[in-house]
Amino acid sequence: MELSSAFDTILVDLAGGASILWLSLIGIIVIVWDIFRNDAPAVPWIAGASVVVALGYELYKVGDPSSTVFFSLIQTGGVASFVNIVILTSSFFSIVLSVPYLKGIQRSYGEIYALILFATSGMVMLGTANNMVTVFVGLETMSIALYILTGIVRSDEGALESALKYFLLGAFSTGFFLYGIALIYGATGTMYFTEMAIGYSASELRPLFWVGVALFLVGFMFKVGAVPFHMWTPDVYQGAPTPLAGFMATASKTAAFAALILVLYHGIGTVQLGGADWQLALSLVALVTVVVGNLLALTQDNVKRMLAYSSIAHAGYVLIALAAGTSAAYAGAVYYLLIYALMNIGAFGAISLLEWDGKEGRLQTLNSLAGIGFKKPLIGVTMGVFMFSLTGFPPLGGFFGKLAVFAPAIDAGLTWLAIVGVLASVFSGYYYLRVLYVFWMKPATEADPSVQSSSFPVSRSSSFVLVICAILLLVIGLVPGVRDLTLSFFTQGVYTALP
């Protein structure tokens, strides 16, 4: 390769992977700054601004056709940019929500912002991967930052327990994941998604490939919190600081699902299978996930824990689309991830604002919030939008998200799965509406006395996040633009060839 042309290639590569590099760089700056001046008020602003810059960059690139950079290790433009937008949006909202939260619990952890940036950078890498190694590096960068974030409130034993649990189980699942990659590599001789089919057809070790795929999927199922690998989810979400639980529930799931979609769409899905049926396996996992997630959420008294179980159910809805495995289904899944991120970051954000007295959401029962809707109408109304959207009522985004995952499944002949999915989501109607019942209908006299006495401030920036999420959910579904954008990613075909 000529040096002059190599320089051009490097420039293109850097532009393609700019978000990852940029976020890591700012993360390092933030952490150094924090060492020299603890609790600098500028830190969250810098972190937030850097995410907005990256977001703007990805918005600018989202119309580009998909291509790959860095020796085809990561994807850029198209679906990769779209996934990045989802991740960066929820990362930005989490940063904004963390500021009043930390003020509320009277801590000054500047490193939270650096860790969010590192995690985001890992998620961006994971969500745009085109190679098994990239997947692994992204996944670990994200996970390690998240382990620390879970236990960031060092004096809180509950949070530490969550962090340790998350770390041990996470490390265990990474083992499965790595074995899977190794076996797939052993069978096909490639780490690239797009070369799997060729490698497989030339392979003499085909069963090895399927064992590898199974282990690989187990690793993913753990990360997205699908049943039966969901055990960590409620404990971790309940123990983690609330805005960061929202961050985990949305951004990390989006990244993991995006990587899974890319692997299935470019790799495993293109392999001509003989006997082994990964789609059936995914349908069964989706079925169990939807049913178990919704049933377990029914009995929860703590809002955070309920949201954790419900996020399991939502992972199940996405899996329904993945099980269908058509272009429209993948597009629906990506679309669902966006809607889901908006709903859940809003819901976790609203709950985090209700922890005004420094009382952890972990300890807060639903009933202690009785009548809060009338006291804080902004939180009450936006929570109404989030809950109805999560239940899937039109004309809110959640309905259109569900439509986008169920419709391709029905088209692909998985009507039975769609029927189970909608019936299970009837249960979700009960537990989501129960939140609204407590917020708006339960007499305030039954609430925690501290809710009655204290009039707590709601920070303006956090209200802004809630309002933005609610407005987006109100308009996003009916307008054709976004849905068509996601569909275009999977109809324009596989991106340009490898070098």
Question: CA torsion 409→258→226→336, rounded to 10°?
Answer: -50
400 binds other proteins (CB under 8 A): yes
- Token pair recorded at residue 323: 């099980």
- Whose Cβ is closer to other proteins: residue 110's or residue 477's? 477
What is the smallest separation between the CB atom of 405 and other proteins, expressed in angstroms?
11
Binding status of residue 423 toward other proteins by CB under 8 A = yes
Residues 354-393 interacting with other proteins (rule: CB under 8 A) = 374, 388, 391-393
Q: Which of 40, 208, 403, 468 is in the footprint of other proteins by CB under 8 A?
A: 403
- Using the minimum distance from each CB to other proteins, give the nearer residue, 348 or 400: 400
* Least separation in angstroms between CB 290 and other proteins: 13
Select 340 or 406, whichever has its Cβ closest to other proteins. Answer: 406
Does residue number 422 form part of the binding site for other proteins (CB under 8 A)?
yes
- Smallest distance, Å, CB 24 to other proteins? 36
Q: Is 440 in the site for other proteins (CB under 8 A)?
A: yes
Residue pair 138/37 in contact by the 8 Å Cβ criterion: no
Our CB check for other proteins shows the closer of 221 and 322 to be: 322
| Straight-line distance from the first to the last Cα atom of the chain, in angstroms, rounded to the nearest whole number | 12
Q: Rounded distance, CA 230 to CA 245, Å?
A: 15
Give the range of 67-75, 201-209, 311-319, 413-421 binding other proteins by CB under 8 A.
Answer: 413-421
Compare residues 197 and 466 and give the one whose CB is closer to other proteins.
466
Residue tagged 């049943």 (tokens): 227
Please identify which residue in 216, 406, 490, 495 interacts with other proteins, judged by CB under 8 A. Answer: 406
Question: By C-beta, is 75 or 428 nearer to other proteins?
Answer: 428
* β-sheet bridge partners, residue 129: 74
Residue 434 as a binder of other proteins (CB under 8 A): the answer is yes
Of positions 6, 25, 32, 441, contacts other proteins by CB under 8 A: 441
Q: Closest separation between CB of residue 458 and other proteins, Å?
A: 18
The reply on whether position 10 binds other proteins by CB under 8 A is no
**Sole residue written with tokens 């990852």:** 20
Toward other proteins, which CB reaches closer, 52 or 410?
410
CB of 422 to other proteins, least distance (A): 4
Q: Which of residues 38, 415, 461, 492 is near other proteins by CB under 8 A?
A: 415
Helix, strand, coil percent content, the chain, rounded in steps of 5: 80, 0, 20
**Binding-site member from 168, 171, 231, 426 for other proteins (CB under 8 A):** 426
* 3-class DSSP state of 450: helix
Q: How many CB atoms lie within 10 A of CB 327?
A: 15
Q: Tell the smallest beta-carbon distance from residue 165 to other proteins (Å).
A: 34
Instruction: Find where tokens 């580009």 sit.
Output: 64
**Residue 33 within binding range of other proteins, rule CB under 8 A:** no
CA distance 15 to 69: 9
Beta strand ranges found along 415-484 (DSSP E): none
| Residue that has been written with the tokens 């995690």 in this structure | 119
Q: Could you tell me the smallest distance in angstroms from the CB atom of residue 403 to other proteins? A: 7
Measured CA distances, 422 to 142, 221, 335, 342, 417 (Å): 32, 21, 18, 21, 9
Site string for other proteins, 467-486 (x = CB under 8 A): ----------xx-x--xx--
Nearest to 318 by CA among 61, 86, 91: 86
Identity at 336, one-letter amino acid code: Y
DSSP 180-243: HHHHHHHHHS--BGGGHHHHHHT-S-HHHHHHHHHHHHHHHHHHHT-TTS-THHHHHHHHS-HH
CB of 126 to other proteins, least distance (A): 28
Q: Which is nearer to other proteins, 52 or 468 (CB)?
A: 468
Q: Closest CB to other proteins among 237 and 489? A: 489
Q: How far is the CB of 395 from other proteins (least distance, A)?
A: 5
Question: What whole-number distance in Å separates Cα of residue 477 and Cα of residue 145?
Answer: 33
Q: Residue 418 Cβ, how far from other proteins at the closest point, in Å?
A: 5
How many residues touch other proteins under the rule CB under 8 A: the total is 36
105 or 403: whose CB is closer to other proteins?
403
| Cα 302 from Cα 344, distance rounded (Å) | 16
Binding residue for other proteins, selected from 29, 137, 410, 468, defined by CB under 8 A: 410
Q: Which two tokens stand for residue 226?
A: 């699908």
Is the CB of residue 300 less than 8 Å from the CB of residue 213? Answer: no
Of 64-72, 116-124, 359-367, 439-447, the window that binds other proteins (rule: CB under 8 A) is 439-447
Instruction: Return the residue of 178, 276, 281, 407 that touches other proteins, per CB under 8 A.
Output: 407
19 C-beta neighbours (distance < 10 Å), count: 27
Cα 140 from Cα 122, distance rounded (Å):
7
Q: Determine if 175 is a binding residue for other proteins (CB under 8 A).
A: no
Q: Which helix (H) or strand (E) holds 304?
A: helix 303-324
**Other CB atoms closer than 10 Å to residue 498's CB: what's the count?**
11
Provide the binding-site residues for other proteins, judged by CB under 8 A. 374, 388, 391-395, 399-400, 403, 406-407, 410-411, 415, 418-419, 422-423, 425-426, 429-430, 433-434, 436-437, 440-442, 477-478, 480, 483-484, 487
